[in-house]
Amino acid sequence: MQNKRGNIIILISALLLLIPLVAMQFTDEVQWSLVDFMLAAVLLLGTGFLCDLVLRKVKKKRHRLLFCLGLLFLFLLFWAELAVGIFGTPFAGD
């Protein structure tokens, strides 16, 4: 079961990364570099595997839900900071 979940996480991450790759073929509005794809892959896979770890290790259903929602919130916060710079860190996007 664990290997199956890992494969699903990898497949979903790859499918999500295909969205900007395909968009780059049709418009100049999307301009991702190799570093952007690598960083997005690390964020997607890291979040997915951390949620998998939470699902395997935390016993109470409520706690699992809260931890996974917290991880999703952190992922979205990092993504937004890298994309548009909501906090103005040196990592902020254009």
Helix %, strand %, coil % of the chain (to 5): 80, 0, 20
Q: Would 15 be classed as within a structural domain?
A: yes
Q: Would 78 be classed as within a structural domain?
A: yes
Please tell me the pTM assigned to this model.
0.87
Structural domain tally of the chain? 1
Mean pLDDT by 10 residues, the chain (94 residues): 85 96 94 93 97 95 97 94 82 69
What is the model's pLDDT at position 94? 59
What is the model's pLDDT at position 85? 80
Question: Which range marks the domain in which residue 37 is found?
Answer: 2-84
Q: Which of 39, 50, 43 is nearest to 6 (CA)?
A: 50
Q: Would 56 be classed as within a structural domain?
A: yes
Q: Would 89 be classed as within a structural domain?
A: no
Q: Would 94 be classed as within a structural domain?
A: no
